Chain A
Amino acid sequence: MDRRLFLQLAAAPVLLGAEETPSYKIVSHYQPAAGTHAPGPYRGQVARVQSETVIDTASKRVDQASVDRMLSAGMTTLTGQRSEKDAWASFFNAGDLVGIKVNCSGAPDMCATPEVVGGIVRNLMAVGVKATNIYIYERFLDQLNSVHYERHVPQGVNVFAVETPRGSLLNYDPKTYVEVSFFGEDDTRSCLARLVTERFTKIINVPNAKEHQAAGVTGCLKNLAYGDFSNVARSHMREKTNTLSFIGTLASVEPLRSKCVLNIMDGIRAIWHGGPIPETRDYDFYPKTMLFGTDPVAIDRLLLDMIEEKRKAEGAPSLFDRSVDLIDRSRGAHKNSHRNTFIREPGHIEYAAKHFGLGEYDRSKIKVATVEA
């Protein structure tokens, strides 16, 4: 798209997406839960665990023992509990039905690492959660199946795709939704997954560390929001997207907000450009880190720094650069780190903090406890 055409479209909000914040209507009869309502008990606190041995970057092989040490260190550091079991037991008990919200949009190369998910499952079972009461879930079956989580977890653990087949609303709750019109689309509702409203007692959110062409980064907030609701791609159909306000709005909806009690950011691998579904491996990097917290905003704030720092080191434009000259809608253009399909909206994280109180965005107020495992 040339600059003149872009500016013409930018002047036509009906066609391009409104400049003003859209009018959202949240429909939910669920109430916030005391104690777990995000940002939960550890507002502004993040446990960051590093491990040099967690992945062999040549073979891409992940070391399970290192992953297990990272999970143990992360949970004990976050909670202050002496034992790993006590740390997990401070969140989960035998009566829980737990959803593990993985991210498989870049699978199989970029996804919630199976060894991490397997480790989480074993820790849940160690505190009494039955295998059959654990759901590893994602929206789309083809993405989920490409990972083969079932090979990394005990028999009985459920691996479930919400939207099967694609476009089906059967596994979404038609009574819990966000209604908004971005550009005059026919279907203005995004409904929350039934598993979240009707089945799970708790959720563990396991996003990846990824740049996102529309949202800036895709971390805790976006994995929850766009991974649990239907009909969300409509927010980024055009250069100017509605991801700024939509992500936080969705993540704030009950019971999702209260049931997501723990976020574990899988930053063993990461991508610094071309996300969320990378078409090249040129932008992979390996932070070899995991971030633990109950505050999704605080973790995403650190993710912003991580991706921004890497882009700076690689000489790529800032995530916050809104220059029209960066926009290129031609096929494959986003493979160039100096081009992008959308105007990124990394401000969605601050927006979620400011408008919904979903966590702490101010970097000076975020306490990061860094440990080696």
Chain B
Amino acid sequence: MLAALLLPSLLAGGAEPPADAVSLTEPKVLYRPNEASATRAPWIQANGWRLLRSPDRTFVYRAKGDAAALSTAEAFTYGAKALISADPPGEEAFGRMLGFLKTLPEVDLSPVADFGVIDDRTDVSGELLNLLTRSNLLFRLEKAPDPAFAINVRVGSKDYPLEEARNPSVLAHRIRAQIGDDNRSLRVYGSETVVARLLASGNQARVLLLNYSSRPVMGLRVRVKGSYGKGELRVFGLESAQLTDWTADGPATEFTIPEFRTFAVIDLPRN
């Protein structure tokens, strides 16, 4: 289970973080219009995979302005112990996000995963974890293959050779194909800059949506595998928000988030 409401803290007044704290990059989108790209997809600078890889470590973000709010939300999403070092506008943004996080109902939920990854802690595996996270392919890090999963990825194994993993994008695509999009527990449509996480228990689920772009996402469509009743939407920066275009007539539940800029949380009661 995730610790309920593990909230990041502000590293105030130029204080130094603990010596063993892991420094993270400022979460954001890097637009590289002049670089060749296979997809024209923007490059997301996200830390989710680092947070998942070292759940016992303390992390420190150095963020400016609104990036401090996104940093706070990112750490919260992955249940990480995090300190936020920010400039004055960033401290204000941190405060607003912290206030929002405190309004969320406390829940005891576990991360949902569609496959396992045995992490050998190499850079190659790290980049694969990064791409899997950014592609919203939900994995659980394991020490050994978990028989509960049909797919367990170990870079360097016969099924997932190191040579293939050196192009992590191709390997991520192959893993996605092995799972099958229809079988994925969570999907998002309508943005290339949103990273999602799904937590669930026997009677409810929570979807957390991080937007790494500075532009708001309009009309994001979310598909959650399983049957859920109409959920509650909470959007950072908006007083009230409602899910729209609800459908729950197949093997999955779908809904639309009309607008969010940085962070949105949806709580779903299981039918």
Do A and B truly interact? Answer: yes
CB–CB A187/B192 < 8 A? yes
B245 partner residues in chain A, CB cutoff 8 A: 174-175
In the complex, A167 has a CB within 8 A of chain B: yes
B38 and A237 form a contact (CB under 8 A): yes
Contacts of B181 in A (CB 8 A): 181, 188
- Distance in angstroms from A238 CB to nearest chain B CB is 8
What is the CA–CA distance of A230 and B170 in the complex, to the nearest angstrom?
Answer: 26
- B191 close to A (CB within 8 Å): yes
A contact residues, total (Cβ < 8 Å): 23
Give the interface residue-count category, chain B: 20 to 34
Name B136's contact: one of A168, A175, A186 (CB within 8 Å).
A186
Indicate if the CB atoms of A183 and B39 lie closer than 8 Å: yes
Question: A157-188 CB contact bits vs B (8 Å, 1 = yes)?
Answer: 00000000101111110110000010111111
A94 at interface by CB-CB < 8 Å: no
The interface stretch among B90-98, B122-130, B214-222 is B214-222
B residues less than 8 Å from A14 (CB atoms)? 170, 173
Neighbouring A residues of B38 by C-beta, 8 Å: 15, 183, 237-238
Indicate if the CB atoms of B39 and A170 lie closer than 8 Å.
no
A189 within 8 A of B: yes
Question: Which residues of B sit under 8 angstroms from A175, Cβ to Cβ?
Answer: 245, 247
**Bound Cα distance from A187 to B223, whole angstroms:** 12
Contacts of B237 in A (CB 8 A): none
Q: Which of B40, B177, B254 contacts A174 (CB 8 A)?
A: B254
Interface residues of B in 213-258 (CB under 8 A from A): 215, 217-221, 245, 247, 254, 256, 258
CB distance from B176 to the nearest CB of A (A): 7
Given contacts A169-B221, A170-B219, A170-B258, 11 further A-B contacts (CB under 8 A): A15-B38, A170-B218, A174-B245, A175-B245, A181-B181, A184-B177, A185-B39, A186-B41, A187-B188, A187-B191, A237-B39
Binding site for B on A (CB under 8 A): 14-15, 165, 167-172, 174-175, 181, 183-189, 230-231, 237-238
Q: List 12 A-B contacts (CB under 8 A).
A: A14-B170, A14-B173, A167-B218, A172-B219, A174-B219, A174-B245, A175-B247, A185-B41, A186-B135, A187-B191, A187-B192, A237-B38
